[in-house]
Structure 1
Amino acid sequence: MMPVVSGSVKPGFEPLADAFASGFAGRPTMGAALSVRIGGETVVDLWGGIADERDGRAWTGDTPSVVFSCTKGLLSILSARLVQEGRLAYDAPVSRYWPEFAAAGKAVVTVGEALSHRAGLSATRADLTEADIVDWARMAEALAAQEPLWRPGTGYAYHAITHGWLNGEVIRRVTGQSVGRTFHDVIAGPLGIDAWIGLPDGDADRPAHLQVSPALTELWATEALKPSPNWPYRAMTLGLALPADLVTPDGGFNARRIRAAEIPGAGGIASARALAAIWSATVVSTGGVRLLDDATVAIATEERSGGEPVFAAIPPYARWGAGFQLDSDARRYTGPKCFGHDGAGGQVGFADPERRIGFGYVTNWMMGPEDQRATAIIDALRPLV
């Protein structure tokens, strides 16, 4: 039986409701939400399904969920904002702001290279634990000291989890406060949205409970059998710190301790409404807030990485700006100028500067490469705008 989909759709956007509803087929314990803004105004606001299969709690319009690597996009907005304010430069070495980072041959790594997965720190050489990754100072110290896995700047490999501490520490050094605090002050607070990097104790019971599809579990089980060192696999687990598919029923990003920590490579928590508002505000005034100007967007979305990565991967390959995931065969948006970031299991947030779109889709039913839920919605949106 298909779940009831609630919310609203402006006339002309009904195909998105159909595409959204179809994503629940055969997934009885799934929950999800979709929000789309055009010109700053909401045109689609939908939700449905189960937020927590353990007690049957229903998904509501403001249910937040872990958005995984969508958080990298939020972090990249903060970096771009600092560039816009003249407090950060993409071409400057990371060590200008974080002197300790110059160790082990990393003095030449620029902020732009760190944001675009070219710093050589996609995984940690040492096995880490959960206690390590919830300790910001410990992670910053470890990355500053580590020798790169390849010569920085000569190629890229996806920094699945380390990206957040690497670029977040630069933000912390520039602003003098934590990434979570900066995110609240610059983005979440002004927009008045449900989004956090580091979930407050008072909101600990609000997020959806995450589930992993059998296909995704099987994918990572196969990956674990590959010869060591399997750097893409270690990029997800950091040794013993996280399960490969990022969650267990009570662990990984289902654990309160992990959600409360600032893990800006993967640990952001947001509603679909929040994601849509954030990405809308990067390209058009949204609720009176404009996060980035056009000139900054143009610089931040210049391609910095693309094509085949350092470690063998199956195409299609993504394209990256200054931390932003650009439109590509790996993640098709509504136009060639779009930028944003998707996240493990099916999350997607992006902006379209030409059509002034802000898009957010979140779900607690995590799927792998076979997932077409958000893709189908984006395909339905494209001919309408």
Structure 2
Amino acid sequence: MTAVKGTVAPGYERVGEAFAVAFDGLPEMGAALAVRVDGRAVVDLWGGVADGRTGRPWERETPSVVFSSTKGLMSILVARLVASGRLDLDEPLSAIWPEFGAHGKHLVSVGDALAHRAGVSAPRVSVSREQLRDFDAMTTLLAAQEPLWEPGTAWAYHALTHGWLSGEIVRRAGGTDPGEAFAEMAASVGGGAWLGMPPEVAASVAHLRVGPTLSALVERQRASRDPSTIDWQERAMTLGGVLPETLVTDDDGFNADDVRAAVIPGAGAIATARAVAAMWSATVADTDGVRLLDDDTVRIVTRERTAGAPVFPAPAPWPRWASGFQLDSDARRFLGGSSFGHDGAGGQVAFADRESRVGFAFVTNWMEAVDPRATRIVDALRAVVA
């Protein structure tokens, strides 16, 4: 059995047990779990292997790429602009970003753009590595692009492009580059999270591994693809091939230092579980003296904006979306209807819950597609807080 380190508050033992079970059959996996309730840390656990190539163990301060959980954290930044009166979710995005209005996108609201309804879920042209690492290049590309469907009328998951939309919203409405705004928010609750990996952090970041269920899923998708047509869902993940379909290889994709060092707000945040849980906790409860969002703002930004089948066919169950936040659904179970957050590729899960005043983060470097690990932990926590 994998040795698990850390602390669990009395009454939360079953949550710790569910975390320990997550390592069963995965001897090269590393992971961390952090849970706060009413601002207080009740679970702080870690274990396993941070780098399977060297055997480096996962430590308390080991950060890892959290993939699309980054979108939820970026959405907190956007919500803070709503709270301050500098942003209106129902105004056209072009009101603060005029260039985005090209090709009929001028009526897309800020809220719809955050809810995956902007029509630019994937680039029409293949992105180069230089563009991928250049925030300005990507926002310019998306602003000029003709949408893939009539914006606002349907949705498709903006797997990576969402981050350049939310990041530009932060920059235009907030006047601060998204990497700087992200760093300031993380620092306010103790640090341990970055959007754009600093050089001094590189050696400590967990090395990502692709598990068998994710490899098998990608192979099935590749085999069923019609080479005569564009698979827009695949392009949303790879941006035309600059990233692998699994998002990582042993030494490329989000395992490459130059990619990790770039500001990629749709998937590129690097963080400890403790840092992510603290940020989510601070949206619903005073957390180490900090409250990132007030209750009224939380109600506004977590109103459902997207549900049902996407424009590009995909099997049910389908997720539900608010203004950048993933809501509780059959596709991703949180604690219940008062939860909002975002999961991430390979098994990352992070969220807050208004009623139970929970901030939660499960982070792992072992990436799977068929993945009960975090779900079992959330189920255990639900039983406790209920």
Q: Find the aligned partners of 1:213 and 1:195 in 2 and give their Cα distance.
A: 25
Contact 1:132–1:241, Cα closer than 8 Å, also in 2 = no
1:191 match: 189
Shift of 1:215: 1.9
- Determine the structure 2 residue equivalent to 1:275: 276
After superposition, the C-alpha distances for 1:340-365 in whole angstroms (9 at most, x for unaligned) are 00000000110011000000100000
Counterpart Cα distance in 2 of 1:142 and 1:334 = 38
> What corresponds to 1:116 in structure 2?
115
Pairwise CA RMSD: 0.8
Tell me the CA shift for residue 189 of structure 1.
Answer: 1.5
| Distance (Å, rounded) in 2 between the aligned partners of 1:232 and 1:373 | 25
Asked if residue 284 in structure 1 is aligned to residue 285 in structure 2, the reply is yes
Q: How does 1:1-385 map to 2 (within 5 A)?
A: 2-185=1-184, 187-225=185-223, 226-227=225-226, 228-368=229-369, 370-385=370-385
User: Once structures 1 and 2 are overlaid, which stretch shifts more, 108-117 or 17-26?
Assistant: 17-26
Decide whether the 8 Å contact of 2:235 with 2:241 is kept in 1: no
Q: Distance in 2 between matches of 1:167 and 1:34?
A: 27
**What CA deviation, in whole Å up to 9, does each residue of 1:28-72 have, x standing for no partner?**
110000011001001111110000011111001111100000000
In structure 1, the residue corresponding to 2:91 is in which secondary structure? Answer: coil
For residue 21 of structure 2, what is the amino acid of its counterpart? S
- Tell me, in whole angstroms, the C-alpha distance in 1 between the residues paired with 2:191 and 2:35: 15
Structure 1 residue 222: deviation in Å? 2.1
Deviation by residue 1:259-300 (Cα, 9 ceiling, x = unmatched): 000000000111110111010000001011100000000010
Residue 116 of structure 1: how far off its partner (Å)? 0.2
Structure 2 unaligned blocks of 5 or more: none
- The Cα of 1:169 is off from its aligned counterpart by 0.9
Kindly indicate whether the alpha-carbon contact (under 8 Å) linking 1:134 and 1:262 is maintained by their aligned counterparts in 2.
yes
Runs of 4+ in 1 over 6 A off after TM superposition: none
SS at match of 1:106: helix
Identity across matched positions, percent? 58
- What is the CA–CA distance in structure 2 between the aligned matches of 1:52 and 1:323, rounded to whole Å? 32
Question: What's the CA shift string for 1:76-128, capped at 9, x where partnerless?
Answer: 00000000000011011111111111111111011001000000000011011
8 Å Cα contact 2:66-2:269 kept in structure 1: yes
3-state secondary structure, aligned to 2:204: coil
| Equivalent pairs, count | 382
Give the alignment's TM-score, normalised by structure 2. Answer: 0.98
Deviation at 1:304, TM superposition (A): 0.1
Return the alpha-carbon distance in structure 2 between the equivalents of residues 178 and 67 of structure 1: 20
Which whole-Å CA distance do the structure 2 matches of 1:357 and 1:145 have between them?
A: 40
Letter in 1 for 2:236: A
Q: C-alpha displacement at 1:218, in angstroms?
A: 2.0
